[in-house]
Amino acid sequence: MSKLKVVVVDSPSTAYQYFHQGFSGLPEDAEVVILPPGTSREETFRVCEDADGIVFCYFQVDEEFLSHLKKCKVISRTGIGMNTIDIPACTRHGILVANVRDPQTVDVANHVAALILSCAKKIPKANAMVREGVWKMEPLMPIRCLTGQTVGLYGFGRIAHVVARRMHGFDMRVIAHDPFLPAEEFEKNGVESVSLEELLTQSDFLSLHMPLTEKTRKIVDAEALHKMKPTAYLINCARGGLVDEEALVAALKDGTIAGAGLDTITSEHPTPDMPIFSCDNAILTPHSAWFSEESNNALLSDAAEHVANFLTGKPVVSMCNPEVLEG
């Protein structure tokens, strides 16, 4: 039996010891290859050709890539989002796909809370004013008390559950729309289940919590934005593609909504001339919601452990296409 080979593609971190920690369950003679940043797609094809397992982050795992793999059995992502991997194609090739769901949950939820607080208290604007020598509250008006305001969660998965707990701590009303969950899931978390119409029209802060798919792409469009309160804020720490960014820019500039807190926008490689950057009422962070030193290290280790577990016959706790095991 040939020795196992695993490859780490486009690592988001140089903390490689955590990959090795996750791979520790592999046989001692297993080959671990960690490709350096900037490795070409063609070179990645070549190195992965005889890999038994692959760990990736942003790499485009599509039919072209899969067609080069001769013996791969499992592919694991260092994160939860799967919009850069063709899962049905992996299933056709008999490859199990896994992701990492838990380590980043609390960090993303905390970032959502931070953006809500920053929007409500206008902290970035206040900081900029003070540094420019303006020591006044008037330019920040109006500022409303958080108590009693409504946070709307569009989707009610793991991260949204934690956000709900955080917002309850501020004595805020929490509502959510997720047609895929039973009523008791909302009730036991102290969250009101509402229709999409109610979510859009009642939320003072509308936070997005859903994966990016063809069905959810631009799900927050001009029509949705015009249903929101003119005093409302849109919060997006999920995927930029969920929002029609052209419509959002228009809504921010004409006062359709009061502002936005965005950790994700339509481009992962934005340029300064993008229209969203001209909106003074948008708070922007560089897709950093998921990150803390602790969660990043756990992501790397857990993603590698999924691969090691599968290749050594142990259970994998986070499978995206478990049906491949039935084939």
Domain ranges of the chain: 5-103+293-326, 105-284
Average pLDDT rounded to a whole number, residues 128-142:
96
Whether the pLDDT of residue 76 is over 60: the answer is yes
DSSP H stretches of helix in 171-241: 183-187, 196-202, 222-227
Average pLDDT, the chain: 96
Whether the pLDDT of residue 102 is over 60: the answer is yes
State residue 1's pLDDT score: 56
Q: Phi, psi at residue 62, to the nearest 5°?
A: -125, -175
- Per CATH, the number for 105-284 is 3.40.50.720
In sequence order, the 6+-apart residues with CB closer than 8 A to the CB of 177 are 152, 153, 154, 155, 156, 193, 194, 195, 196, 198, 199
DSSP string covering 174-188 = EEEE-TTS-HHHHHT
5-103+293-326 and 105-284 have identical folds:
yes
Whether the pLDDT of residue 262 is over 60: the answer is yes
User: Do residues 64 and 84 touch, judged by C-beta distance below 8 A?
Assistant: no
Identify the active-site residue in 177, 209, 239, 306.
239
Structure confidence by residue, pLDDT tens digits, 267-280:
989 999 999 999 99
Average pLDDT rounded to a whole number, residues 98-118:
94
Q: Which of 256, 265, 267 is CA-nearest to residue 235?
A: 265
- How many whole angstroms separate alpha carbon 35 and alpha carbon 270? 25
Cis before residue 88, ω within 30 degrees of 0? no
Angle between helices 105-121 and 123-131 (to 10 degrees): 60
Average pLDDT rounded to a whole number, residues 139-153:
96
3-class secondary-structure state, position 30: coil
Which CATH code, of 3.30.450.150, 3.40.50.720, 3.40.190.80, 3.30.300.30, is assigned to 5-103+293-326?
Answer: 3.40.50.720
Structure confidence by residue, pLDDT tens digits, 35-67:
998 899 999 999 999 999 999 998 999 999 999
Catalytic residue list contains 287: yes
Both tokens assigned to 255: 């006062």
Q: Is 197 exposed, middle or buried (0-12, 13-18, 19+ CB in 10 A)?
A: exposed
- The pLDDT > 70 percentage for the chain reads 99
Torsion angle of alpha carbons 169, 170, 176, 182, nearest 10°?
Answer: 20
Average pLDDT rounded to a whole number, residues 19-29:
96
Torsion angle of alpha carbons 204, 210, 211, 213, nearest 10°?
Answer: -80
Structure confidence by residue, pLDDT tens digits, 211-248:
999 999 999 999 999 999 999 999 999 999 999 999 99
State residue 326's pLDDT score: 84
Whether the pLDDT of residue 327 is over 70: the answer is no
- The pLDDT > 90 percentage for the chain reads 92
| Kind and range of the H or E run holding 124 | helix 123-131
Structure confidence by residue, pLDDT tens digits, 158-207:
999 999 999 999 999 999 999 999 999 999 999 999 999 999 999 999 99
Catalytic residue list contains 239: yes
Whether the pLDDT of residue 142 is over 60: the answer is yes
Catalytic residue list contains 268: yes
Average pLDDT rounded to a whole number, residues 26-31:
96
- How many whole angstroms separate alpha carbon 35 and alpha carbon 19? 12
Whole-angstrom CA distances from 240 to 59, 236, 261, 265 are 18, 7, 12, 4
Identify the active-site residue in 43, 187, 268, 294.
268
- How many whole angstroms separate alpha carbon 102 and alpha carbon 107? 10
3-class secondary-structure state, position 133: coil
